[in-house]
Amino acid sequence: MTESTHRTQAQRREQTRAALLDATIDCLVEVGYARTSVQEICARAGVSKGAVQHHFTAKAELMAAAVEHLTTKLRRRLAESLDELPRGGSGVAAAIDLLWAGYSGTLSTAVTELWVAARTDAELRAAIRPVDRALGRATLEHVTQVAGELPPERAEMLFWLTVHLTRGLALDAELGGDPTRRRRLLDEWKRIAVLLYADATTAPS
């Protein structure tokens, strides 16, 4: 018999908290925000409603915590990948692929659910905005390091254009748009970006 049943309070707290947040994200991805109920989350996390009551005073607070949990994961994943990228033109294309991978996965799906919900929920919006801005800024920082020679201003433009394009494409993917077309569009955008990159580095205005 191991004494594996013994956990310190902090461990217990952290474990069920993480279980709840992960379950929340799963719910958002699988059934959507509108049908994500506390009961459903509890069932998936394997805890009772009393537990979530103990950790989060209201449902909105749980959602807010889920957002942070989510963006933390996304940030870490993007940061790791971006840091081992080659510099220069080929790096630009690779960076775009990475941004697409980051913004088209399940994590981003959950974020989109929360975003849209936050539009009409002031409390949720207040919770989301800062972490989202932090995610954007942190990612931008890594990206500008990759595109070293490019003027920061132009690198930022390229970055944000890519992010917004990617999010639009992710939305299309969620609705079941044509994957081949998305692939072609992304390739085309990479071509354009590399072209612009070359222009900006060889003939700076």
Partner DNA sequence: TGGAAAACATGACGGTCAGCATGTAAGTTC
Partner DNA sequence: GAACTTACATGCTGACCGTCATGTTTTCCA
Q: Which residues bind a copy of itself (CB under 8 A)?
A: 30-35, 109, 112-113, 115-121, 125, 128-129, 132, 157, 160-161, 163-169, 171-172, 174-176, 181, 184-185, 188-189, 192, 196
Determine which residue in the list 53, 72, 90, 106 makes contact with DNA, applying CB under 7 A: 53
Distances (CA, A) of 71 to 6, 149, 201: 31, 29, 33
Q: Would you say 54 or 133 has its CB closer to DNA?
A: 54
* C-alpha closest to that of 95 among 151, 150, 135, 140: 140
Q: Is 182 exposed, middle or buried (0-12, 13-18, 19+ CB in 10 A)?
A: middle
Q: Would you say 30 or 40 has its CB closer to DNA?
A: 40
Q: Would you say 22 or 121 has its CB closer to a copy of itself?
A: 121
The token pair that represents 85 in the structure block: 């990228």
Q: Would you say 51 or 105 has its CB closer to a copy of itself?
A: 105
Tokens 């900006």 belong to: 200
* C-alpha closest to that of 93 among 143, 135, 141, 136: 143
Q: Would you say 22 or 30 has its CB closer to a copy of itself?
A: 30
* C-alpha closest to that of 151 among 205, 80, 89: 205
Give CA–CA dist 191/15, Å, rounded.
Answer: 45
**Binding track over 5-34 against DNA, x by CB under 7 A:** xxxxxx-xx-xxx-----------------
Distances (CA, A) of 116 to 69, 73, 109, 112, 178: 18, 20, 11, 6, 23
Q: Say whether 91 sits in a helix, a strand or coil.
A: helix
CB of 14 to DNA, least distance (A): 9
Q: Residue 13 binds which entry of a copy of itself, DNA, none, with Cβ cut-offs from 5 to 8 Å by kind?
A: DNA
Q: Residue 58 binds which entry of DNA, a copy of itself, none, with Cβ cut-offs from 5 to 8 Å by kind?
A: DNA
Determine which residue in the list 26, 32, 51, 201 makes contact with DNA, applying CB under 7 A: 51
Write out the residues near DNA by the rule CB under 7 A: 5-10, 12-13, 15-17, 35-40, 46-51, 53-55, 57-60
